[in-house]
Structure 1
Amino acid sequence: MAATKTAYFRRMASITLMALTGLSLVADTAASADDTPAKQIFGKVQLPSEAAPNPIGFYAKGCMAGAVAIPTDGPTWQAMRLSRNRRWGNPAMIQLLERFSQDAVQLGWGSGILIGDISQPRGGPMITGHASHQIGLDADIWFTPKPAQPLSTQAREDMPFTSMLDKSKFLTVNAARWTPTHARLVMQAASYPQVERVFVNPAIKKKLCETWTGDRDLLGKVRPVYGHDEHFHIRMFCPPSTPNCKAQAPVASGDGCDKSLAWWFTKEPWATPKKDPNAKPVKPRFTTLSDLPKACTALLSAPAASEQSATFGNAYVAPQPASSEAAIRQAIHAGSNELPDTGVPIPLARPALQ
């Protein structure tokens, strides 16, 4: 235990040093090289800004101030691929994930959820992977339940995904893997009023259209997209009082089990683009800081919050009156089962979900 604590504090000191030096380098890079891909700049930032939560720009073109991190372990969740440093999000997203993880257990989804990428400490484009996840309002959930015992750091890096597709058939769900609980899990995610969309593979959307007997209106939130057969993607609305957050166009009315879904099962989405032999080669263009909202450049040089404060600090935990704290202590001493003893520091109170 002592060795673990020592390693943790060494890591914290290293991260703090990287933040102090890295942010200066990031700011210098931003000022001197506008043609530097923004993903390289945001990918170097280790810690969030010490500021009020503020999603800036669009889901696929923006950044994020005042991010908080979900703890790597919780009673009903585990964060995966920790080396990516993408467990940061708007506090509203972190709250939602904790609530969803608890609801998942009630649905019979093992001991909780495995959480994939949320966002980088200050959002922005990522070096690998996603085009979105830039403002802290997107999160990936694995189609694999959380194991009863915590996974090691290495296991979280190496554990393979489990596809829900039958790879021998075109866009077909694997009947041996997909269960009614999978369906309930996806639809539970769609049920929250603050969730704007849930992205899944077209085959999964089709399966839900064919089998879901619950609220059909919620199916409209479940949107088909490339990939997303090993995980699903939760996207939240812009939280209230966030004028810098650019909303996405509303989902069309209906359950989405229509021509828009049928299109995915034609040749068009999968056809190889035809190249014009006479066309001049086009130089690949990356998103730069000038392509993002101007506030994102200033955000890069803003003071950093520590990992500890941004995970368990005031940006994440609501202040508690003394009477409430006394009630909590009394419940603990009385052996109340309302507060699970997991050995993981869990914030005991949070602002109400929007």
Structure 2
Amino acid sequence: MRLSRLIPLATILVTTLVGCMASDRADTVTRQAVPPELSGKEARDLFGAMPFASSQPSQPFGSYAKGCISGAVQLPETGPGWQAMRLSRNRNWGHPELVDYLEKLAGQAAQLPGWNGIYIGDLSQPRGGPMRSGHASHQMGLDADIWMLPGGNMSLSRPDRERISTISVARNRNTAVNGNWTPQYTELLKAAASDPRVERIFLFPGGKVQMCKTATGDRSWLRKIRPWYGHDDHFHVRLACPRGMSGCTPQNPPPPGDGCDEAQTWVNNILNPPPPKPRDPNAPPPKPKRQLTLADLPAQCVSVLQSR
């Protein structure tokens, strides 16, 4: 073969090799296996030990209950209209969209009568992932808990933020609101749900039923308020996957409608629970829940965990 033909061929091979290397650097570890020293270890211990975020672009990977986040940003401990609580947990980290959302919601909350802002509970760990306690979700930096305790003193010390607790606004097994509930909760939840970035908000069933009774005008925001167990002393905001984040697995959207009938069904079932299904005496006992390992998470989480 002539040299003149060999040169273009060599150029093509080199160009292809360089392109592949660049692609591997950009998509660091969709092919990267779990290192032997991390294999079999519980993911909650690996991610719970990370004190700071990875030095990577901000991106969520996986799903809300099985994922991680690269390049998380830390919600400041204090800002105009908010304070991050339980700082010793180091769970005030999230995607930049979540931090921006909370800062804007805090400004709205500070305008409510009797409120100076909001107390913000857990977001995610510095690199997301499973937690050692408290949550099955909150793994991609897109979830946040807002306390039901109205924001009062916005100059709490770090020790104060460990001592004080939120309040419950529910009674009768979470089927109704108690005397702590005021119209300001409806206004706050309406503001929280009206942001187009919100996927859904989890709240105790009686709270949803109460708002269904009193909400007037445009009720479309009620669709995002979903009844769930607990959530009487805080509400849980979940943002949708940010645009262009292909590594983030979205949750199915809420069913059509305002969801008020569903919330009432929750209440009815709590007050008058259906009879339990008979158990087959020959059925094997249920297996204990297995803790997630790094291999259970998206491949990118290996890079997130190992990044400086």
2:193 to 190, 205, 211: 190
Q: Alpha carbons of 1:269 and 1:97: their partners in 2 closer, same or farther (altered >3 Å)?
A: farther
Q: Alpha carbons of 1:281 and 1:244: their partners in 2 closer, same or farther (altered >3 Å)?
A: closer
- Matching of residue 152 in structure 1 with residue 172 in structure 2: no
2:221 to 218, 222, 230: 218
- Paired residue secondary structure (2:51): coil
Q: In the alignment, what sits opposite 1:123?
A: 128
Distance apart, 1:38 and its partner CA: 0.7
1:245 to 227, 243, 248: 248
- Matches of 1:148 and 1:262, distance apart in 2: 38
Q: In the alignment, what sits opposite 1:228?
A: 231
2:261 to 253, 258, 263: 258
- Paired residue secondary structure (2:107): helix
Deviates most, 283-292 or 133-142: 283-292
Q: Alpha carbons of 1:150 and 1:210: their partners in 2 closer, same or farther (altered >3 Å)?
A: same
Q: In the alignment, what sits opposite 2:42?
A: 37
Is the radius of gyration larger for structure 1 or structure 2?
Answer: 2
Runs of 4 or more above 6 Å deviation? 268-274
Q: Alpha carbons of 1:280 and 1:171: their partners in 2 closer, same or farther (altered >3 Å)?
A: closer
Q: In the alignment, what sits opposite 1:92?
A: 97
Distance apart, 1:171 and its partner CA: 2.9
Q: In the alignment, what sits opposite 2:180?
A: 177
Q: Alpha carbons of 1:142 and 1:272: their partners in 2 closer, same or farther (altered >3 Å)?
A: farther
Q: Alpha carbons of 1:210 and 1:293: their partners in 2 closer, same or farther (altered >3 Å)?
A: same
Tell me the TM-score normalised to structure 1 length.
Answer: 0.72
Q: Does the 8 Å CA contact 2:117/2:151 hold for their aligned counterparts?
A: yes
Q: List gaps (5 residues or longer) in structure 1.
A: 1-28, 304-354
- Matches of 1:222 and 1:291, distance apart in 2: 30
Q: Does the 8 Å CA contact 2:114/2:150 hold for their aligned counterparts?
A: yes
Q: Does the 8 Å CA contact 1:30/1:289 hold for their aligned counterparts?
A: no
Q: Does the 8 Å CA contact 1:72/1:78 hold for their aligned counterparts?
A: yes
Q: Does the 8 Å CA contact 1:47/1:122 hold for their aligned counterparts?
A: yes
- Matching of residue 199 in structure 1 with residue 202 in structure 2: yes
- Matches of 1:136 and 1:243, distance apart in 2: 15
Q: List gaps (5 residues or longer) in structure 2.
A: 1-33
Q: Alpha carbons of 1:274 and 1:152: their partners in 2 closer, same or farther (altered >3 Å)?
A: farther
- Matches of 2:188 and 2:138, distance apart in 1: 21
- Matches of 1:99 and 1:203, distance apart in 2: 27
Q: Does the 8 Å CA contact 1:63/1:122 hold for their aligned counterparts?
A: yes
Q: Does the 8 Å CA contact 1:59/1:135 hold for their aligned counterparts?
A: yes
- Paired residue secondary structure (1:181): helix
RMSD, aligned CA: 2.1
Distance apart, 1:196 and its partner CA: 1.1
Percent identity of equivalent pairs:
45
Distance apart, 1:118 and its partner CA: 0.4
- Matches of 1:101 and 1:133, distance apart in 2: 20
- Matches of 2:39 and 2:237, distance apart in 1: 32
- Matches of 1:199 and 1:30, distance apart in 2: 37
In structure 2, give the amino acid aligned to 1:129: G
- Matching of residue 79 in structure 1 with residue 84 in structure 2: yes
Q: In the alignment, what sits opposite 1:331?
A: none
Tell me the TM-score normalised to structure 2 length.
Answer: 0.83
Q: Alpha carbons of 1:59 and 1:281: their partners in 2 closer, same or farther (altered >3 Å)?
A: closer
- Matching of residue 209 in structure 1 with residue 201 in structure 2: no
